[in-house]
Amino acid sequence: MKLTRTSIKGETNDSVFRMATIFVVIVAALLPARVFAASAYIKSVAPGLIEKADVAYGGLVDVAALLYNVDPELILAVIIVESEGNPKALSRRGAEGLMQLMPNTAKAMGATNPKEPLQNIFAGTKYLKELEESYGFIDSKEDALVAYNMGPARAKKWLARSDPKEYPYVVNVMYVYALLEERKRVNVQSIQGGLNKLAMEFTDVIVPTAQPMLSRPRSLSLRAFPMSIPSGRRLEAKQQD
């Protein structure tokens, strides 16, 4: 079979995607035991969804995170659990888009078209920040996630008698969040290792010792000057020498 450039590129992308998925699966096996309370479905689909969502929306997530000072890994985890990265997702209750915003919430956060990824991500991130600042869910990510899922008024009542870490929605989001955090840590270590190796290779290069630009002038006799000098000064020069 004759391979075209397009087919080769496609096979390369598939190979990279498979390797990334295998990596996330391995990372999942190393996570603390408590995160395995996540649903079996989320554990089975999270590795693939992470890579797809990051490629499709990672840039928008980073901008929104910077704009509203929200953890980008948390935003991406919410996207994956809420909609599996589907911008056209629509729940039975009417929540729309990547971060599953209810119509009134989307409008309040400035989104005119919740199915548009940029608007949805920015509005959802703004809502997460508002839950923290305006409603006081600042003690933990888990508290804010409960409020994001059930609304701030219901969340306050629920949190007064229950542990947010036992709430299924929170467990699923934090499972994906843990995968993302571990992936980031490994990536940082890999980059740092590359930089360290580059630095060691650079120091092995023999660099000639730099000569000082200025040095103390040597003592010169007046006889060394080529110009003619008056006879009186010439006599003084002889006596000095």
Coil, helix or strand for 101? strand
Does domain 5-184 correspond to CATH entry 3.40.50.150? Answer: no
Catalytic residue among 51, 73, 82, 142: 82
Instruction: Provide the CA 239 distance to its chain's centre, in angstroms.
Output: 80
Q: DSSP alpha helices (H): ranges in 69-167? A: 72-83, 103-108, 117-133, 141-150, 152-159
Rounded (5°) CA angle 57-139-165: 75
**pTM for the full predicted model:** 0.67
Q: Would you call 82 a catalytic residue per the annotation?
A: yes
Per-residue pLDDT of the chain (241 residues; tens, 9 = 90+): 444 444 444 555 555 555 555 554 554 444 444 444 578 999 999 999 999 999 999 999 999 999 999 999 999 999 999 999 999 999 999 999 999 999 999 999 999 999 999 999 999 999 999 999 988 888 789 999 999 999 999 999 999 999 999 999 999 999 999 999 999 898 887 777 777 777 777 766 655 555 555 555 555 555 555 555 555 555 554 555 5
Q: Greatest CA span in the chain, whole angstroms?
A: 114
Q: Which residues contact 217 (CB under 8 A, 6 or more apart)?
A: none
